[in-house]
Amino acid sequence: MVRESRDRTYIRRDIMLTLSEYGELNLTKLISYCGLNMKIHKGILDDMEQKGLLSSTKEPWGSRAIIKYKLTQKGSDFYKTILEPYENMFPRGGKRQ
């Protein structure tokens, strides 16, 4: 059985698309909505934040803190000018949309 996995480009696109739809999401919801694994894919979020595509804030929640992510203007521009045309040119599964 062949196991398919998403290319990191599509993972980033899914993260940006999800945040553009919802505005701001906590880490758990973002990971869940994108169908990702927190342990495996948290590094992608950290990298995107370091590059200025996402921003995060920590909010206290009882004795813990919740991390919330949102798309920056730079991330929105990158999504619209690079990732959206990329997926149109190279659609997932080889299918044209």
**Domain residue spans of the chain:** 8-89
More confidently predicted of 5 and 86: 86
pLDDT, tens digit (0-9, with 9 covering 90-100), for 29-79: 999 999 999 888 999 999 999 999 999 999 998 899 999 999 999 999 999
**Residue 86: pLDDT over 80:** yes
Confidence band of 96 (pLDDT split at 50, 70, 90): very low
Residue-level pLDDT at 87: 82
Is pTM, for the whole model, over 0.85? no
Inter-CA distances, 26 with 6, 80, 81, 92, Å? 22, 23, 26, 27
Residue 97 has pLDDT above 50, yes or no: no
List, in sequence order, every residue forming a beta bridge with 71; answer none if it has no partner: 54
Say which CATH class 8-89 falls into: mainly alpha
